[in-house]
């Protein structure tokens, strides 16, 4: 009986994944309508050295676009990214500005990093872009083309690229399967507003209407909240079919585990009970239950291997769709899927987040507060003290 239930779940899981791939296919087939090109301020918050940083930053200075500016924002001149930013500015002095300021109050370090740059930016259209993103020269034109009068936010699909270490290969496999298909599925079939922080184009007037950075300064998923607030204000949140590259070359396993644990916690705090449907998009995990429940017999292992093979074939197809060949890394897909399945359980046990050396406790809708290691002990002590002293 249990075996039949699991087999049904496996079938359902493969179907869900197939539907997600269909969503990606449909999304990628959308065309761009090139219209007018308003001037744009690109804000790039920098912290630490990302892989390929120089090329990533420079790719924003090579845009085939009539009028735009690029602002690199940092909180500290001693940040190693500053040297790289300075070199790019020296190469493109008319285009690039560097803003260094850490005076604003915000728990979200990325938001804190961007406030000054936002104030310095001169155009009404502004684009927030992460430092680990590499774009082609037609990126701005194609992204802007999705910005119609009723649109509040345009965001882009991300494709992981350049894995050279095990951690980076797993990261790219995860971005190029679960992440990209889930985003397209939510956008295409569930019509949910999806906003991806790696690339967000907005008008200042719309952004200020939803409260600007003040509205998102103390949440972890500022991108999600911006999208949600825009949607609530009646503005469209558009997922542009133009893909941008997230360069991950020399990631350690720790970095991979840390990022996906953090993202899983974010999804848990945003989705609530819907989070429990997520394992259905991981057929490898669901099929691994067959040998676990039925023993490692010939039949159960055959079923498991069959599902793994189908999953690898699906992911190879996705890699063709997004023009990002997997190569031999494809053999790591089952390992990656099993690791992310284990990660899925972590948010149910812990709400502590480590992001860029800052520790937080994450609450509902990803509201964060600084983590204090002995906070619960302190609370008990203070309560006891109050009781004793009356």
Partner 1 sequence: MLLCDFHIHTKYSDGSMELRKVVDLFGQAGFDVIAITDHVVNGDSMIGKFAYKFRFTVTEKNFNEYIENIRYEAKRALEKYGMIVIPGVEISKNYLSSEKSAHILIIDIKDFIPACASYETIFLEAKKQNALVVACHPHHIKGEIRNTLYLWKNRNKYGKYIDAWEIANRDDVFNVVSLKKYPYIANSDFHKARHLYSWKTLLNCDKNVVSIKNCIKNNKGVAITLFRG
List residues near partner 1 by CB under 8 A.
Answer: 48-49, 51-55, 80-81, 83-84, 86-87, 90-91, 164-165, 249-250, 252
CB of 80 to partner 1, least distance (A): 6
5 burial (CB, 10 Å; 0-12 / 13-18 / 19+) is exposed
Q: Would you state the structure tokens that stand for residue 36, as one six-digit string?
A: 């007018």
CB of 110 to partner 1, least distance (A): 17
Residue 309: name the closest of 105, 45, 8, 10 by CA. 10
Q: Would you state the structure tokens that stand for residue 167, as one six-digit string?
A: 């951690």
Residue 236: name the closest of 153, 156, 127 by CA. 153
CB of 99 to partner 1, least distance (A): 18
Nearer to partner 1, 151 or 165 (CB): 165
Strands 125-129 and 133-134: unpaired
Q: What angle do CA 353, 175, 24 make, to 5 degrees?
A: 130
Nearer to partner 1, 254 or 389 (CB): 254
Nearer to partner 1, 250 or 296 (CB): 250
- Residue listed under structure tokens 């607030």: 229
The backbone torsions φ and ψ at residue 119, rounded to the nearest 5 degrees and listed phi first, read: -65, -35
Nearer to partner 1, 49 or 338 (CB): 49
43 burial (CB, 10 Å; 0-12 / 13-18 / 19+) is buried
Gap between the Cα atoms of 321 and 230, Å rounded: 30
CB of 257 to partner 1, least distance (A): 16
Q: Would you state the structure tokens that stand for residue 76, as one six-digit string?
A: 């500290």
Nearer to partner 1, 167 or 227 (CB): 167
**Bridge partner list, 154:** 201, 238
**Bridge partner list, 73:** 45, 99
Q: Which residues of 166-202 are buried (b: 16+ CB within 10 A; e: fewer)?
A: bbbbbbbbbbbbbbbbbbbbbbbeeeebbbbbbbbbb
Residues 367, 243, 203, 60: is their CA dihedral positive or negative?
positive
CB of 89 to partner 1, least distance (A): 12
Nearer to partner 1, 57 or 230 (CB): 57
Nearer to partner 1, 51 or 223 (CB): 51
Gap between the Cα atoms of 23 and 182, Å rounded: 9
Nearer to partner 1, 251 or 360 (CB): 251
CB of 85 to partner 1, least distance (A): 8
Question: Please, are residues 117 and 85 in contact by the beta-carbon 8 Å criterion?
Answer: no
CB of 57 to partner 1, least distance (A): 10
Nearer to partner 1, 83 or 378 (CB): 83
In the three-class reduction of DSSP (H, G, I as helix; E, B as strand; rest coil), residue 61 is classed as coil
Nearer to partner 1, 81 or 111 (CB): 81
Question: Please, are residues 360 and 269 in contact by the beta-carbon 8 Å criterion?
Answer: no
CB of 87 to partner 1, least distance (A): 6
Strands 358-362 and 352-355: antiparallel
CB of 342 to partner 1, least distance (A): 25
CB of 217 to partner 1, least distance (A): 26
């Amino acid at each position: 009986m249990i075996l039949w239930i699991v087999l049904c779940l496996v079938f359902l899981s493969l179907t869900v994944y197939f539907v997600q791939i269909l969503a990606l296919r449909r999304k990628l087939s959308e065309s761009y309508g090139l219209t007018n090109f308003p001037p744009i301020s690109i804000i790039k918050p920098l912290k630490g050295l990302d892989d390929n940083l120089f090329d990533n930053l420079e790719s924003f200075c090579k845009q085939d676009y009539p009028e735009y500016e690029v602002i690199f924002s940092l909180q500290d001149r001693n940040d190693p990214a500053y040297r790289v930013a300075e070199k790019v500015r020296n190469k493109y002095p008319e285009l690039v500005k560097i803003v260094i300021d850490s005076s604003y109050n915000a728990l979200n370090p990325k938001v804190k990093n961007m406030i000054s740059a936002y104030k310095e930016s001169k155009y009404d259209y502004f684009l927030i872009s992460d430092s680990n993103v590499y774009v082609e020269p037609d990126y701005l034109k194609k992204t802007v083309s999705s910005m119609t009068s009723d649109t509040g936010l345009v965001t882009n699909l991300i494709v992981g690229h350049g894995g050279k270490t095990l951690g980076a290969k797993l990261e790219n496999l995860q971005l190029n399967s679960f992440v990209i298909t889930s985003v397209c599925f939510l956008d295409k079939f569930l019509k949910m507003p999806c906003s991806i922080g790696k690339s967000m184009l907005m008008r200042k007037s719309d952004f200020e209407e939803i409260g600007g950075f003040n509205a998102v300064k103390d949440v972890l998923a500022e991108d999600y909240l911006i999208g949600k607030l825009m949607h609530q204000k009646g503005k469209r949140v558009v997922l542009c079919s133009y893909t941008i590259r997230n360069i991950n070359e020399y990631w350690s396993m720790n970095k991979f585990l840390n990022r996906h644990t953090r993202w899983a916690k974010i999804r848990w705090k945003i989705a609530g009970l819907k989070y429990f449907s997520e394992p259905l998009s991981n057929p490898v995990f669901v099929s691994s239950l067959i040998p676990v429940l039925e023993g490692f017999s010939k039949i159960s292992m055959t079923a498991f291997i069959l599902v793994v093979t189908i999953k690898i074939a699906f992911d190879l197809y996705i890699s063709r769709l997004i023009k990002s060949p997997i190569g031999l890394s494809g053999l790591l897909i089952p390992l990656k899927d099993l690791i992310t399945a284990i990660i899925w359980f972590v948010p149910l046990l812990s709400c502590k987040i480590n992001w860029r050396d800052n520790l937080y406790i994450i609450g509902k809708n990803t509201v964060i507060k600084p983590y204090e290691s002995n906070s619960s002990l302190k609370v008990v002590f203070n309560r006891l003290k109050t009781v004793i002293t009356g």
